[in-house]
Amino acid sequence: MNLFRQRISPIRLYLCSCTVPGVSATSIAASTNYSGKQPFNSITHFFKKQYTMFRTLLCIIVLLLLISVKSYSQCSTTNVATGAPYGAIGIAGHDSAKYAFDNNASTYWEFDNVSSQEIGIDLGRDVAICSIELTWGSTAYASGYVVRASSDWNHWYSSSAIPHSASGTDTFYFPNNPLNTYRIVEVYIYGQVSGQPGVKLYNFAVHQAAASNNLPPVVNLTAPANNATYQLGHTVNMKATASDPDGGIQRVEFFQGTTNLGQSTSSGSPYSFDWTPSAAGTYSFTAKATDNAGGSTTTSAVSVTVSASTDFGWSLTGNGGITPATQFIGTTDAQPLIFKTSNTEQFRVGADGHVRIGSFANPPSDAKLAVDGYVYARKLTVTSAAWADFVFKKNYSLLTLPKVESYIKTFGHLPGVPSEAAIQKNGISVGDNQAILLKKIEELTLYLIEQNKKISRLEEQVKNQEKKNRNLSGHK
Q: Does residue 185 share a domain with residue 138?
A: yes
The pLDDT score that the predictor gives to residue 19 is 42
Residue 297 within any structural domain of the chain:
yes
Q: Does residue 226 share a domain with residue 204?
A: no
Q: Does residue 301 share a domain with residue 285?
A: yes
Residue 19 within any structural domain of the chain:
yes
Last-in-domain residue among 72, 89, 118: 72
The pLDDT score that the predictor gives to residue 11 is 34
Give the Cα separation of 190 and 145 in Å (integer): 5
Q: Does residue 180 share a domain with residue 110?
A: yes
Q: Does residue 114 share a domain with residue 18?
A: no
The pLDDT score that the predictor gives to residue 457 is 92
The pLDDT score that the predictor gives to residue 211 is 58
SS3 (DSSP) at 218:
strand
Domain count, the chain: 5
Last-in-domain residue among 155, 181, 209: 209
Query: Which residues make Cβ contacts (< 8 Å) with residue 469, sequence separation at least 6?
Result: none
Which of 154, 161, 209 is CA-nearest to residue 181?
209
Give the Cα separation of 26 and 310 in Å (integer): 90
Q: Does residue 196 share a domain with residue 96?
A: yes
Q: Does residue 222 share a domain with residue 293?
A: yes
Q: Does residue 201 share a domain with residue 85?
A: yes
The pTM of this model reads: 0.35
Q: Does residue 163 share a domain with residue 183?
A: yes
Question: What does each of the 476 residues of the chain score in pLDDT, given as a tens digit?
Answer: 333 333 333 333 333 444 434 433 333 333 333 344 444 455 555 556 666 676 667 666 655 554 444 444 467 777 888 777 776 654 444 457 777 787 787 888 877 666 677 888 888 777 878 888 888 777 777 777 888 888 777 777 777 777 766 678 888 777 654 446 788 888 888 777 767 777 788 888 888 776 556 788 899 999 998 988 888 878 898 999 999 887 888 889 999 999 999 988 777 888 999 999 989 999 999 999 988 777 889 999 999 998 886 555 666 667 766 777 777 788 877 888 999 888 888 899 988 888 999 877 777 788 888 888 888 988 888 887 678 888 888 888 888 889 989 989 999 989 989 888 888 888 888 888 888 898 899 999 999 998 999 999 999 999 999 888 888 877 55
The pLDDT score that the predictor gives to residue 4 is 33
The pLDDT score that the predictor gives to residue 240 is 94
Range of the domain at 35: 4-72
Residue 163 within any structural domain of the chain:
yes
The pLDDT score that the predictor gives to residue 120 is 84
Q: Does residue 124 share a domain with residue 149?
A: yes
Altogether, the residues listed in the chain come to a count of 476
Last-in-domain residue among 166, 187, 209: 209
Residue 331 within any structural domain of the chain:
no
Q: What is the CATH number of the domain that holds 240?
A: 2.60.40.10
Give the Cα separation of 205 and 294 in Å (integer): 13
SS3 (DSSP) at 455:
helix
The pLDDT score that the predictor gives to residue 42 is 56
The pLDDT score that the predictor gives to residue 444 is 92
Residue 317 within any structural domain of the chain:
no
For 389-404, give one letter per residue: b (16+ CB within 10 A) or e: eebeeeeeeeeeeeee
Q: Does residue 157 share a domain with residue 44?
A: no
The pLDDT score that the predictor gives to residue 183 is 84
Residue 241 within any structural domain of the chain:
yes
Q: Does residue 47 share a domain with residue 30?
A: yes
The pLDDT score that the predictor gives to residue 41 is 54
Going 396 to 401 to 405 to 410, the CA torsion angle's sign is: negative
The pLDDT score that the predictor gives to residue 14 is 36
Residue 436 within any structural domain of the chain:
yes
Burial class of residue 440 in the structure, from the number of CB atoms within 10 Å of its CB (0-12 exposed, 13-18 middle, 19+ buried) = middle
Give the Cα separation of 84 and 125 in Å (integer): 10
Which of 294, 359, 262, 337 is CA-nearest to residue 130?
294
The dihedrals phi and psi of 177, each to the nearest 5 degrees, come to: -135, 120
Q: What is the CATH number of the domain that holds 158?
A: 2.60.120.260
Residue 135 within any structural domain of the chain:
yes
